[in-house]
Amino acid sequence: IACTKLRKQNYDLIITAMEMPVMDGYEFILHTRENPDTSDIPIIVLGQREKIAELVKVQSVGVQALLASPLNTDRLAAEVERILAQQRLNREREEMKHYLTDEAIAAVKRGAAGEKYQTKVDNAFRTIVFTDIAQFTPLCENMNAFEVVDMLNNYFDKMVETLIYYGASIDKFIGDAIMALFPRKPDDAIEAGIHVLAELREFNKTREIEHKMTLNVGAGVHIGKLMLGTIGEQERMDGTVIADAVNLASRVEGLTKYYRTHMIITGEM
């Protein structure tokens, strides 16, 4: 019955006993973990204190708490509250990733840990990548607002997934443009740019068939020194980058239209 209900409805937490009539707790947990739809649900296991071997065995398949009999209801309630609070925190962190840069999330974590507000600056070489859709405004003249937003979201999904795969931190979206930072070696950024253009070709194949239109995108890659830090005041902070290198990367991307090429790479020593 429990397995059937898990398939039909989403649950935040599972509490199971080790001893059950049809399958034991270990088999039930394995069944839950093997199903992609239920593999991440936290589990509390209730077992008998004298059967330590069984309790140790379930730890190997990923449970969040083990409670031995006789059951202490206060302890159980405390574990439930702890696990659900951790679940909410994890969801909030995942949501923050959609709206904040890595630096901004780090600043939030420092504040949550009790660190006092202070400006933090990292002055180092980074690789900056700008991508931009050529002739975007004329392209959208025959599209309604919903179609424009839908196109951009599908386009961003493809581009951002590739950029992040190669180690990028997405700094911001500026209209139809993407600004990304690569903290590691410049080769990562260059390889990401090449694969972004390859993804664009696949994206255009679908749009050409369904919408009779394709996108032309330029990528500017610049390796330079920039200041990466948290700025603002105590009531409102933001993680951002400041440097001529950022403006230069944007201008390099603009040159792709002038020279009719897909990517230009520049750098400074």
Q: What is the pLDDT of residues 207-222, one digit of tens each?
A: 776 767 788 999 999 9
Tokens of 131: 């991508």
Predicted pLDDT of residue 265: 92
**CA atoms within 13 A of residue 258's CA, in its CB half-sphere:** 7
pLDDT band at residue 225, thresholds of 50, 70 and 90?
Answer: confident
Predicted pLDDT of residue 80: 86
Whole-number Å distance between alpha carbons of 269 and 260: 27
Give the range among 29-33, 207-211, 231-235, 249-253 with minimum mean pLDDT.
231-235
Q: pLDDT, tens digit, for every residue of 65-97?
A: 777 777 778 888 888 888 888 888 777 667 656
Residues in contact with 91: Cβ distance below 8 Å, sequence separation at least 6, in sequence order: none
Q: The tokens 């990466």 sit on which residue? A: 228
Residues in contact with 234: Cβ distance below 8 Å, sequence separation at least 6, in sequence order: 117
Whole-number Å distance between alpha carbons of 134 and 184: 28
Predicted pLDDT of residue 219: 92
Which strands form 14-17's sheet, in the order they lie side by side?
14-17, 43-48, 65-69
| Contact assessment for residue 232 and residue 238, using Cβ atoms and an 8 Å cutoff | yes
Task: Report the mean per-residue pLDDT for the chain.
Answer: 78
Whole-number Å distance between alpha carbons of 134 and 147: 18
- Kindly list the distances between the CA atom of residue 196 and the CA atoms of 9, 28, 160, 176, in Å, as whole numbers in the listed order: 38, 43, 9, 15
Whole-number Å distance between alpha carbons of 200 and 161: 12
Q: pLDDT, tens digit, for every residue of 122-173?
A: 677 889 999 999 888 888 888 888 888 888 888 998 898 899 888 888 888 8
Evaluate if residue 261 carries a pLDDT over 70.
Answer: yes
Tokens of 266: 């520049």
Tokens of 207: 């749009």
User: What's the whole-number mean pLDDT along residues 200-208?
Assistant: 85
| Contact assessment for residue 70 and residue 61, using Cβ atoms and an 8 Å cutoff | no
Q: What predicted TM-score, i.e. pTM, was given to this entire model?
A: 0.59
**CA atoms within 13 A of residue 141's CA, in its CB half-sphere:** 4
Predicted pLDDT of residue 221: 92
| Whole-number percent of the chain with pLDDT over 90 | 12
Predicted pLDDT of residue 78: 84
